[in-house]
Amino acid sequence: MGFQKPTGTQDLLPGVVEKWQYVEGKARDLCRRFNYREIRTPIFEQTSLFVRGVGETTDIVEKEMYTFDDKGNRSMTLRPEGTAGVVRAYVENKLYGEPDVSKLYYIGPMFRYERPQAGRQRQFHQFGVEALGAVDPAIDAEVIALGYQLCVELGLKDVKVEINSVGNATSRAEYRETLLGFLRPMKDTLCKDCQSRMERNPLRVLDCKVDQDKFVGAPSILDSLDEESLSHFAKLQGYLDDFGVDYAVNNRLVRGLDYYTLTAFELKAQGIGAIDTVGGGGRYNGLVGDIGGPDQPGIGFGIGLERIQLILEHQNIEVTTLAPLDVYFVALGEAADREVNRLLFKLRQSGLSGERDYLGRKMKAQMKSADRFKARYTAILGDDELERGEISLKAMDTGEQQTVKLDDLVATVRGNN
């Protein structure tokens, strides 16, 4: 074969894509119930948006972005995450002028150049929500609860949340000095990325996957929180307790993006080995201002849909993959074949689903197709039935067969729904 899909991408074929539609449908329904509205932003943006919004010291910006110069010699990047683009749209379209909190959600592809592995692709898909305009910890709890509830309603096992506070600017500055005092003596033993980031953003060092064993005795950021940060974190935990969300405090959790303030969290479920993180997020009170908007707070999360599918499969959770067909038509004879075409279109116009044979196969082969499509009914029309203005309708689950008038077929099928 001359062409193959790019490394780190996948074809979602019929029979599989329905599983994705099931998860996406659950997410959309939850957003409806929580009063979040969909937003769709471009798949590529100015590179500087992600450098400023995601952070120069992140793995995403330093190593993973798909960046290119367009025909106007402008640097563009395929979006590696959803938040920066949503915040840019929030600022550019002046959504901050609305009287209520902007509660938004998105579903779509993201792009990062990294080594493909289970649950991690170069083109991957995320469901995410963003709530902009409120600093109240109640909205933090709502966002976390929405993500948690999605996992629960999908039937994932051992769903839990890990939370932390990464503080405000004041407490982060204090913690920065405390952490540097811990890290500097071991600087020469750390990986090159950690050495590079230590002075620029030492909190990012704690997120390193190479040197984790060296940070066991690292000071906790919770010990550096000021009164404001402590109060926010305590209220958040109270709201999560009220909701019955299963959570635990993880004082090492800092997340991999630079824009987080106060709340940081991850959603977890029983996975495959170390693959148990479904998604995560946090609060980003300075991001809107960094991107050029007014000083507006925000909080959100992103959930990896590939990771969801992997865990659903690992936990043997069955989801609906193919909606049953309402009617499969079998035509016996040239005149009957044309009438079946008319009936099929009329059925579809009415909101029901239908199919017919287009390969000129015998009746036995057509009936096998009806079984493969899990048709509720098979409608069989021959030239003799056509002359009488009738059609045979067979219920596939019971085998019961009846004769109905051609003009009554749609009403009969609908009445038996």
Alpha-carbon distance of 27 to 149, in angstroms, equals 10
Does residue 159 fall inside a structural domain?
A: yes
Is 403 a domain residue? yes
What are the tens digits of pLDDT across the range 140-184?
Answer: 999 999 999 999 999 999 999 999 999 888 888 888 888 888 888
Q: What's the N-to-C CA distance of the chain in angstroms?
A: 46
- pLDDT given for residue 191 in this prediction: 87
Where on the phi/psi map is residue 353: left (φ > 0), alpha (ψ -120 to 50), or beta? beta
Residue 203 within a domain: no
E strands of 72-173, at which residues?
A: 75-78, 102-111, 123-132, 160-165
- Look at residue 290 and tell me if it is in a domain: yes
Do 381 and 271 lie in one domain? The reply is: no
Which are the contacts of 65, defined by CB distance < 8 A and separation ≥ 6?
47, 50, 77, 78, 80, 111, 112, 113
Of residues 76 and 417, more confidently modeled: 76
Residue-wise pLDDT for 288-315, tens only, equals 998 999 999 999 999 999 999 999 999 9
Instruction: Give yes or no: residues 269 and 381 share one domain.
Output: no
What 3-state class would DSSP assign to 414? helix
Structure confidence at residue 257 (pLDDT)? 60
The Cα 25–Cα 311 span in angstroms is: 18
- Assign residue 241 the CATH number of its domain: 3.30.930.10
- Please state the rounded mean pLDDT for residues 395-405: 93
* Cα distance between residue 257 and residue 240, in whole Å: 24
- Residues 381 and 295 reside in one and the same domain: no
Number of domains in the chain: 2
Q: Return the SS3 of 137.
A: helix
Above 80 in pLDDT, residue 273?
Answer: no
For residues 230 and 360, membership in a common domain is answered with: no
Identify the bridge partners of residue 45 per DSSP, sorted by sequence position.
77
Angle at 367 between CA 397 and CA 415, to 5 degrees: 45
Domain that holds residue 355: 327-416
**153 domain-assigned:** yes
Measured CA to CA, the distance from residue 31 to residue 237 in angstroms comes to 22
Within-domain flag for 250:
yes
Residue 370: give its domain's CATH number: 3.40.50.800
Is 195 assigned a ligand-binding role in the annotation? no
- 284 among annotated binding-site residues: no
In the 3-class helix/strand/coil scheme, how is 17-66 assigned residue by residue? HHHHHHHHHHHHHHHHHHCCEECCCCCEEEHHHHHHHHCCCCHHHHHHCC
Question: What b/e sequence results for 267-278 when a residue is b if at least 16 CB atoms lie within 10 Å of its CB, and e otherwise?
Answer: bbbebeeebbbb
Whether 37 has a binding-site annotation, put simply, is no
> What's residue 255's pLDDT?
63
Residues 6+ apart with CB under 8 A from 284: 83, 87, 259, 260, 261, 297, 298, 299, 300
412 is in an annotated binding site: no
The predicted model gives 90-117 an average pLDDT of 94
Residues 291 and 370 in one domain: no
To the question of whether residue 82 is assigned a binding role by annotation, the answer is yes
* Residue 81 in marked binding region: yes
In a domain, residue 412? The reply is: yes
C-alpha torsion 90→93→98→102, nearest 10: -20
> What is the pTM (predicted TM-score) of this model?
0.89
Whether 18 has a binding-site annotation, put simply, is no
Cα 276 from Cα 285, distance rounded (Å): 28
Cα distance between residue 262 and residue 302, in whole Å: 17
Q: Is 259 annotated as a binding residue?
A: yes
Residue 256 has pLDDT above 90, yes or no: no
